[in-house]
Amino acid sequence: MTGNNLYEPVRGVIRGIIEETPEIKTFSLETDEPVEFYPGQFILLAAPGTGEAPFTPSPRPGGEPGVEVTVKRTGDITGALHRKKKGDTLGVRGPCGKGFPLEKLRNREFIIIARGRHLASVRPLILDILSSRDSYPSVTLLYGCRSPGDLLYRTDLEKWGEKFRVLKTAETPGESWNGEAGPLPGLFSRLSPEPENCSAVVAGSPEIIRSGAGALKEMGVDESRVWVPVEKRISCGFGKCRCCLAGTYYVCRDGPVFPYSRVKDLPGLWV
């Protein structure tokens, strides 16, 4: 935000673009002002003249000022963002929301379940794990994608696999695929958590969130320790417009990550 105006963005100049998959790009943005965020918070990224939408920021490598944002092309704004080139300017607002309660996730067994582009929502958390590895005694990441071509952060995933347990699966695996085959829920049986001492994050479509949280519950992991990123229409980002309301919670202000127990029964949230 510029000065005190919550709604005016700061400038973010695109310094690098990684084509992760045919539909997903990661933008490295240098911002006019530092954007200091916490894993799980979100920012609003604007393609000037088209509009803005919420995305999950990660730090730029090497601690350079600015943010990295992974964007899947799905419509107007994401389409406009995908057409941007190195050197182009975007608008950045935020950070917004609360983010993951790291103190509740650290020093216990930790399971991350993510599908498709939603791995972007947990990437900052994974970077926290890597930078304070001792705080996370046991980590397992289950990741699912459609096909090998849709694999996100492919080089990172290899490196992460050296630091903690990573299982990946593709729904339609090809010849060269070195992971598992089939839909992500097929991997749930590979988990054997110590329920009392385990926290988890499930990121994905409502179906994935429901099935992931459901599987963990069957394994005895309390729903209040399963954190889920919730996506609702976001406009102001700061609790001033009510468009993200889910029950009595504002997703932008009280979320976007919530304990599953708190949001699972909210009417209309998972439509």
For residue 68, what are the β-bridge partners?
Answer: 28, 58
Our finding on whether 241 is near ligand FES (CB under 6 A) is yes
Residue 174 binding result from another protein, ligand FAD, ligand FES, none, given CB thresholds of 5 to 8 Å by partner type: none
Cα dihedral 129→130→131→132 (10° resolution): 50
User: Out of 21, 28, 78, 199, which residue is the one contacting ligand FAD (CB under 6 A)?
Assistant: 78
Cβ 197 to ligand FAD shortest distance, Å? 29
Q: Which of 81, 98, 102, 80 is nearest to 42 (CA)?
A: 98
- Retrieve residue 153's tokens: 């952060």
What residues between 106 and 125 interact with ligand FAD by CB under 6 A?
A: 117, 120-121
From 12, 229, 237, 255, residue interacting with ligand FES (rule: CB under 6 A): 237
- Determine if 236 is a binding residue for another protein (CB under 8 A): yes
235 binds ligand FES (CB under 6 A): yes
Of 212 and 237, the one with the shorter C-beta distance to ligand FES is 237
CA distance 200 to 160: 17
Contact (CB, 8 A) for 54 and 42: yes
CA separation (Å) from 188 to 111, 112, 223? 11, 11, 16
Give me the residues that bind another protein (CB under 8 A), please.
1, 3-9, 46, 48-49, 51-52, 74-75, 91, 231-233, 235-236, 238-245, 247-248, 253, 268, 271
